[in-house]
Amino acid sequence: MLKVNEHYLKLQASYLFSDIAKRVASFQARNPEKDVIKLGIGDVTNPLPPACMNAFRAAVEEMATTAGFRGYGPEQGYDFLREAIARHDFQARGAAIEADEIFVSDGAKCDTGNIQELFAVEARVAIPDPVYPVYLDTNVMAGRTGEYRDGRYEGIVYLDSTSDNTYVPELPTDPVDLIYLCFPNNPTGSTITREQLKLWVDFARDSKALILFDAAYESFIRDPSLPHSIYEIEGAREVAIEFRSFSKSAGFTGTRCAYTVVPKECRAFDSRGNRQAIHPLWNRRHCTKFNGVSYPVQRAAEAVYSPEGAAQCRALVDGYLANARIIGTAMSELGYSFVGGDNAPYIWIQGNRDSWEFFDLLLDKAGVVCTPGAGFGRCGQGYIRLSAFNSEANVVKAMARIKEALG
């Protein structure tokens, strides 16, 4: 008799964004004449930058020739992209990351979900609350938690992120092995200072823990005092893995390209307490379970680092940040407190009511889709997240509708 992995049965109902999609589809079926503006899921709306599109087309044309055709590429990514990433994203900021420490993939979501396979099932995991659901759900699937009770899974060390700590969690008092951090944060839009991040790096070094640092939104940072990478912090190479993506910075949500950085010094330990390098373990997992990102997509990603591509990507991000300011101004005028939107594309709004109730109110009365904060964890109850990923015209229209509905 074949048995299922019963850890999957612990998962709650369905994935947050699937629930949202079902509610929106139901609303549109009941109200086919109503125009819905989506400021919920973090999907971009602007097209690929011209520099990336031109590189994409040229690479496809190469593939149509005998001389330029490429079959299976290196699972870790082509050298031209890995070298560009290392040079522009890290070395230019004083972070000593080499090209062969970068693993190109089809998404940061995949990598943050898959990385936990490298670690023992009994690893003690610390996860912020509220948090991007993938971190938690993949550890539930792996069997690192007990049952779900009172809005939380047994066996997880939750790191509360609230207005009291400006949405940057305190160091855990319980012993932990694996720590998830995300800055600029999804969903709250909060950021972390160098001094705060140094505390986490020192904690991980002292406790022989590892930090999984999701920096998918670093391109939205405009405050020069804030770190873009955890590797800007002394000692991080030994205790941190970083995840990045071209999805939000260059519009690659549909094109799929991201990367994970695993420094050669990065370590964990075996059952006898012997130090084990993580780099070869991730390389083996990557080669075994992944066949690489296509050549045209990697050429398109390389174009992000050209002078034209860099300017075009920055303009895209600046446009989304301008949308965030429009949202923040409107919600402030309505009397709502919020965080985010200045160095991140998300605005985390204290709704003073149940999150799903607020979601339904905005959908029914304004035709605007948000994301209920409760879907990100117990500390998200009473909040909603609005995303800046839409056109300026739609954001202005959405805010006018919300003002009418709530005013």
Q: Which residues contact 293 (CB under 8 A, 6 or more apart)?
A: 73, 77, 104, 105, 106, 256, 257, 301
Predicted pLDDT of residue 12: 83
SS3 for the chain is CCCCCHHHHHCCCCCHHHHHHHHHHHHHHHCCCCCCEECCCCCCCCCCCHHHHHHHHHHHHHHCCCCCCCCCCCCCCCHHHHHHHHHHHHHHHCCCCCHHHEEEECCHHHHHHHHHHHCCCCCCEEEEECCCHHHHHHHHHHCCCCCEECCEECCCEEEECCHHHCCCCCCCCCCCCEEEEECCCCCCCCCCCHHHHHHHHHHHHHHCCEEEEECCCHHHCCCCCCCCCHHHCCCHHHHEEEEEECHHHHCCCCCCCEEEECCCCCEEECCCCCEEECHHHHHHHHHHHCCCCCHHHHHHHHHHHCHHHHHHHHHHHHHHHHHHHHHHHHHHHCCCCEEECCCCCEEEEECCCCHHHHHHHHHHHHCEECEEHHHHCHHHCCEEEEECCCCHHHHHHHHHHHHHHHC
Q: Shortest CA distance to 360 belongs to which of 392, 384, 377?
A: 384
Q: How far is CA 355 from CA 300, 368, 380, in A?
A: 39, 14, 8
The answer to whether 117 and 141 have CB atoms below 8 angstroms apart is: no
Residue type, 362: L
The rounded distance, in Å, linking the Cα atoms of 314 and 57 is: 22
Q: Name residue 339's beta-bridge partners.
A: 348
Predicted pLDDT of residue 57: 98
CA angle 92, 95, 98 (to 5 degrees): 90
Total residue count of the chain as it appears in this document = 407
The reply to whether the predicted model has a pTM over 0.85 is yes
What is the token pair recorded at 272?
A: 């006898």
Q: How far is CA 393 from CA 37, 126, 249, 327, 390, in A?
A: 11, 40, 20, 12, 8
pLDDT tens column, 14-66? 667 788 888 899 999 999 999 999 998 788 999 999 999 999 999 999 999 99
Predicted pLDDT of residue 187: 97
The low-confidence residues of the chain, meaning pLDDT below 70, are 13-15
The answer to whether 161 and 167 have CB atoms below 8 angstroms apart is: yes
To the nearest whole number, what is the mean pLDDT of the chain? 96
Predicted pLDDT of residue 121: 98
Q: All domains of the chain, ordered by start, with CATH?
A: 6-47+309-406 (3.90.1150.10), 53-307 (3.40.640.10)
Percent of the chain residues topping a pLDDT of 90 = 94
Predicted pLDDT of residue 15: 66
The answer to whether 153 and 136 have CB atoms below 8 angstroms apart is: yes
The answer to whether 258 and 246 have CB atoms below 8 angstroms apart is: yes
The rounded distance, in Å, linking the Cα atoms of 224 and 365 is: 40
What is the token pair recorded at 339?
A: 């965080």
Q: Shortest CA distance to 211 belongs to which of 176, 181, 247?
A: 181
Q: Which residue has the tokens 């202005």?
A: 396
